[in-house]
Chains A and B, each alone.
Chain A
């Protein structure tokens, strides 16, 4: 069974540009989560999508947005990039949107903002 996949592996952008990150959950999983791991700040929750709807978001500005498609894959968009957006962005999926479900993580997308 394939795990969570993310693309691209690495992404280099300049300040002010937009970045789009993609995530494909494990087959059969309907919930997708996004986390940011910035240097010195640890892993922080960004967004949770379930059945195509945004269920929760962390303390991030509106320039961080995303969506979930009918096939449950997800996209994270970061507009007006700032230097501090440089981080490893991790996507996770779970079977359903239940608190008891394990979240399985992908390998991440390394975003570098110059």
Chain B
């Protein structure tokens, strides 16, 4: 049974710092891994999707890596801004049936 864990649960940093959010999964047989952003009380915004055959994906200041063998993914945020404050969720798609298994999220606060 796939389980997804995110560390840390919460993070507070000053503006401008480079950040690393961690995601681990127990079953390496994944189709893809996806990172989302969720603002309070809102839906999810897809940030990056890494297929199982890929090692990383980049979008602007965001870079996500995937290491299937170790069951880990990291989301790197460069030069953080207050507008980056949100909860970041990772989700693994595995075992067929298109069921995303989500981690509990990392709540990020970037203060000016």
Contact = CB atoms under 8 A, between A and B. Distances in A.
Contacts of B42: 107-108
Contacts of B91: 43
B100 interface: yes
- Which secondary structure characterizes the binding site on chain A? strand
Nearest to A106: B43
A58 interface: yes
A11 to B, nearest CB: 14
A99 B31 contact: yes
A110 to B, nearest CB: 7
Given A42-B104, A99-B32, A100-B32, A56 B43 contact: no
A55 B99 CA distance: 10
Interface in A57-106: 58, 88, 90, 92, 94, 97, 99-100, 102-106
Contact of A102 (B34, B99, B102, B103): B34
Interface string B55-89: 00000000000000000000000000000000001
A44 B91 CA distance: 11
Nearest to B4: A42
A110 B41 CA distance: 9
Contacts of B105: 42
**How big is chain A's contact interface, by range?**
20 to 34
B51 interface: yes
Contacts of B97: 48, 55-56
Contacts of B100: 33, 35, 43, 45, 103
B49 A99 contact: no
A101 to B, nearest CB: 8
B34 to A, nearest CB: 7
A105 B44 contact: yes
Contact of A90 (B34, B44, B99, B103): B44
5 contacts: A4-B43, A6-B43, A44-B102, A103-B34, A103-B98
